[in-house]
Amino acid sequence: MTRILGIESSCDETASAVVADGREILSSVVASQIDIHRKYGGVVPELASREHLRQIVPVVREALAQAGMKLADVDAIGVTQGPGLVGALLVGITYGKTLAAALGKPLVPVNHLAGHVHAVFLEAFKAGRVAKLPAVCLIVSGGHTVLYEVTAGDADGQDLSGLLRYRKIGQTRDDAAGEAYDKVAKLLGLGYPGGPILDRLAAVSNSAPAPVKFGATKTRGNPLDFSFSGLKTAVLYHVREHPEYAGEIRAREESLQRGERKYEQLLPLCSPQTLALVREFQNAVVRDLVERTMLAAEELAVESVMVSGGVAANSQLRTTFEERAKNKGIEVFFPSRALSTDNAAMIAAAAYERFRAGVFADSSLNADPSLVLA
Ligand code: KG4
Ligand code: ZN
C-alpha cells in the first residue's frame, strides 16, 4: 500500500490528508479561512498566506493523527504547485519540500485542477462506481470555470494507473461561476460566500413571478466557452432600476453587521421578489453550465460527465445534470460536498498517479500561480 500525504494551500483552505493507493481516504483535514476573509467579501491574499503559515503544521499533524500514522510512515508527499495565490502556494510547497528532505521521501508536485478531477474518482471509488473514460470534466469554483476532456493514458479507458490526459475544451472568458454567485450575493446583501445561501434561497422561491428573465449567454467563437460577468451586471442593473429592493438590502446588510448571516436569519428579510430574482439568476447559471457541458459530452461521445469544484455542491446543478445525463445515457459523477470544495485528499489522489509514473520534484520546486493543466 502506498500512503501519500497531501498538502493543499492554493487559496483560502489549509488542508492535509492521507490517501492510500490513490483511492482510499485515511484522513482529510481542512482548515477554512472563510471567517477571516468574510468581512472583505473575498479572499485577501496577504491574510491567506499568514493564516496558512499558522495552520499548516497543526493541520498536517492532525491529518497524520487521524490516519493513525507517523511522518515516517508516509511514502511520498504530494503538494499543490499551482494554480493559485503565489504566497499561499509557497507555504504548502516550502513545508512539503522540508518534510520530503527531512524524511528522504519523494515530493510530487500536483496541479490543483488535476486534484479536482481526482476528487471525482475518490468519490466514485467510495460509492463502488467507476467513472469511465473518456469523460468531460467541468471544474467550477470561485476561481475556475473550465471544461476538460479527460482520457486515460492507456488505450482501454478503464485502467487509471497510467497518467490521465487532459485537453482544455472551454473556459470562462471573464468571471468564474462561483465568483458570480459571490458578487450577486454581495450586491443583494446576502454575505460571503454567496453560493450556499443563494442555492437555498432559490429553492424556496416557489412560484413567485420572475421580476426579470435572463436570456442564454452567447459567446462568439468557441461554443464551449463560458461568460458570467454579463449576468452579474444584468442583476446589478435590475436592482438599481428597481428602488423597491433598496430597503430590504439595507436590512440584510445590517443583519450581516450584527453577525446574523445564517440562512434562517436572512430568509425572513427577503421578499418574494428577491427570492424569485435569485431563482432566475441560478436558473441562468445552471442552464449555461449544463448546456455547454452536455454539448461537449455529446460532441465528444464520452462515457461520463464529471463535475467538481465548490459550485458542484449546488443542489440544482446536481439534479439538472443528473436529469439531462440520464436522458442522454451518459453517467454523471459529482464528488460529495466535502470533496467538491478545496481539500487535500484530492491532491494526494492526484499525486498517486504521478508517483507511480515517477514524476518527482526536487528542492528547486517553485509555486506556479498560473500553472495550466492543458
Ligand atoms: O472550490 P472552492 O471551495 O474554492 C475555490 O474557489 O477554489 O469554491 C468556492 C466557491 C465560492 O464561490 C462559493 O460561493 C461557491 O464555490 N459555492 C457554491 C455553493 N457552495 C459553494 N456555489 C453555488 N452553490 C453552492 N451550493
Ligand atoms: Zn479549487
From the CA of 356, how far away is ligand 2's center (Å)? 24
Please return the burial class of 36, using the count of CB atoms within 10 Å of its CB with bins 0-12, 13-18 and 19+: middle
Torsion sign across C-alpha atoms 176, 237, 38, 42:
positive
In this predicted structure, the answer to whether residue 84 has a pLDDT above a threshold of 70 is: yes
Element (H, E) at 319: helix 315-328
Ligand 1 atom 8, closest CA: 310
Tens of pLDDT along 240-274? 999 999 999 999 999 999 999 999 999 999 999 99
SS3 171: strand
Ligand 2 ion: nearby residues, β-carbon < 5 Å: 141, 342
Contact 164, 353 (CB under 8 A): yes
Ligand 1 atom 23, closest CA: 195
SS3 13: strand
In this predicted structure, the answer to whether residue 196 has a pLDDT above a threshold of 70 is: yes
pLDDT at residue 163, as a whole number: 87
pLDDT at residue 157, as a whole number: 47
199 lines ligand 1 (CB under 6 A): yes
pTM of the complete model: 0.95
11 lines ligand 1 (CB under 6 A): yes
- Cα 164-166-168 angle, rounded to 5 deg: 170
83 lines ligand 1 (CB under 6 A): no
Tens of pLDDT along 117-139? 999 999 999 999 999 999 999 99
194 lines ligand 1 (CB under 6 A): yes
